[in-house]
Amino acid sequence: MKQPLVFVLIAYATGLPVAVTAEEALTTKSAYSRFVVGKDKGVEFQLEARRIPLAQVLDRIAEQTQIPIHYSVLPEGLVTATCAGATFKQILACLLDHKADLIVRYKQPNEKIANLHNVAEAWVLGSRLDVYPVTRIDCIADAKAELALREKKQQDNAVSQEIETLLARAKSKTAAERADAIGALLGVGRQGDATINAVLEEALHDDDASVRAQAISTLSHLEGASAKTAIQEALHDISADVRRMAVDGITDDIGLLQEAINDSDESIRDLAAMKLEDLMKQHDKTP
C-alpha cells in the first residue's frame, strides 16, 4: 500500500495588515500554508504558502513538525512562496528568500540527513529581513529537485484525472463497466479518500454481485482494519464470490476469520482456515 504524504492545510480569512493593497485584499481570502513531508528523493520537503504572514507560516511548520523555530522580529505583510528541497534548512532558506541567516541544530551533528527526527531546533536571524519582499518566491533546491517536483505534480495530476474517470465509470449502467472501474480504483486510490470510499460503500449494495465483490476487495485492501464493518457485512452476502472477496480482505482479525470458517461454501471455509492458521502462527511468534 502506498504510504500517504503527511500534510497540514491551514486556511485564513482574518483581518488584513495595513500595508496590504486592494488587489491583495481580494486574494487574501484564500490565504493558506501547506508543508508536506514525503519520500520523493530531492524534494522530501515541500512548502506552499499563499498570501499569508511569514510568522504564521513558521509557526504552523513548528507546530506540525514539533521543531522549535526561534525568531524575533519579522517583516509585516504577506508572503507567497513555493519551496522544495531535500533538507529542512533548504525549505526555511527558500521561505526567507535567502535574506536571513539560519542556524539549524541537529541531534546528531555528524548526520545531517533529510530526516525531521534529526532536527532539534532552528533560529532565524533577521539582519536582512527588513527588505523582505511581499511577492512570489519559487525556490527549488537544485535542477534535479525541480525536475522531480515537476514530474511528481504531473503524476499527481494524471492520477487525479484517472480517478475522476474511474469514479464516473463506476456509475455506468453496465455492470461489467462498474465492476472494472471499482477494481481499477485499487491501483490509484488513496487510503482515507472520502470520495472514493463513498463510491465503494455505495457499490457494496449494487444489484450485481460482481460489482459488490470488487467493491469489498478494493475497500478492504485500501482501508485495511478500517473496513471491518463492511467486511463483516459482506461475509453475509448471498453471493459466494462476495463472501470470498471479503475473506481475502481480512488481514489480522481472528474473529472475522472464525466466523468465515462456518461458511456454507467449502472454498470459503478453506480460505478462512488457511488465513486463520497463518495468523495464529504469527501471534504465537509474537513475544
Same domain, 66 and 143: yes
226 domain residue, yes or no:
yes
153 domain residue, yes or no:
no
Give the SS3 label for residue 84. Answer: strand
* Position 191 confidence tier, pLDDT thresholds 50, 70, 90: confident
Query: Lowest mean pLDDT: which of 16-25, 39-48, 51-60, 87-96?
Result: 16-25
Same domain, 144 and 190: no
For strand 78-85 and strand 101-106, is the pairing parallel, antiparallel, or unpaired?
A: unpaired
Are the C-beta atoms of residues 190 and 4 closer than 8 Å to each other? Answer: yes
DSSP single-letter state for residue 269: H
Long-range contacts of residues 253-257, Cβ cutoff 8 Å, at least 24 apart: 253/225, 253/228, 254/279, 254/280, 254/283, 256/228, 256/231, 256/232
Residue 105 has pLDDT above 60, yes or no: yes
Q: Which range of residues forms the domain containing residue 66?
A: 6-148
Same domain, 176 and 266: yes
If one counts the domains in the chain, the total is 2
Higher pLDDT, 114 or 209: 209
Separation between Cα atoms, residue 43 and residue 46, nearest integer Å:
6
Are the C-beta atoms of residues 132 and 95 closer than 8 Å to each other? Answer: no
Cα 59 to Cα 35, 64, 69, 70: the distances in Å are 11, 9, 7, 9
Higher pLDDT, 63 or 126: 63
pLDDT at 89 (0 to 100) = 87
Same domain, 190 and 273: yes
Same domain, 200 and 242: yes
User: Which grid coordinates are listed for 94?
Assistant: 527558500
Same domain, 107 and 60: yes
Q: What angle do CA 211, 218, 158 make, to 5 degrees?
A: 105
Same domain, 20 and 98: yes
154 domain residue, yes or no:
no
Residue 125 has pLDDT above 90, yes or no: no
pLDDT tens for 51-98 read: 888 889 999 999 998 999 998 778 777 888 888 887 888 888 888 877
Same domain, 193 and 139: no
* Position 149 confidence tier, pLDDT thresholds 50, 70, 90: low
187 domain residue, yes or no:
yes
Segment (H or E) for 64: helix 54-65
Query: 11-20, 62-71, 80-89, 107-116 — which one is most confidently predicted on average?
Result: 62-71
- The proportion of the chain whose per-residue pLDDT surpasses 90, expressed as a percent, equals 31
- The proportion of the chain whose per-residue pLDDT surpasses 70, expressed as a percent, equals 74
81 domain residue, yes or no:
yes
Residue 2 has pLDDT above 50, yes or no: no
Higher pLDDT, 73 or 209: 209
Query: Lowest mean pLDDT: which of 40-49, 50-59, 226-235?
Result: 40-49
pLDDT tens for 233-283 read: 999 999 999 999 999 899 889 999 999 999 999 989 999 998 898 888 877
pLDDT at 17 (0 to 100) = 30
pLDDT at 74 (0 to 100) = 80
CATH classification at residue 249: 1.25.10.10
Separation between Cα atoms, residue 63 and residue 58, nearest integer Å:
9
Same domain, 11 and 144: yes
Same domain, 10 and 133: yes
* Position 112 confidence tier, pLDDT thresholds 50, 70, 90: low
* Position 114 confidence tier, pLDDT thresholds 50, 70, 90: low
Residue 30 has pLDDT above 90, yes or no: no
161 domain residue, yes or no:
no
How much is the average pLDDT of 162-177?
A: 91
Residue 136 has pLDDT above 50, yes or no: no
Same domain, 216 and 257: yes
155 domain residue, yes or no:
no
Same domain, 16 and 58: yes
Spell out a b/e string for 144-174, using b for 16 or more CB atoms within 10 Å of the CB, else e: ebbebbeebeeeeeeeeeebeebbebbeeee
* Position 4 confidence tier, pLDDT thresholds 50, 70, 90: very low
254 domain residue, yes or no:
yes
The radius of gyration computed from the CA coordinates of the chain, to the nearest angstrom, equals 25
Cα 258 to Cα 17, 217, 270, 276, 286: the distances in Å are 63, 19, 11, 7, 20
Nearest to 189 by CA among 210, 214, 208, 166: 166
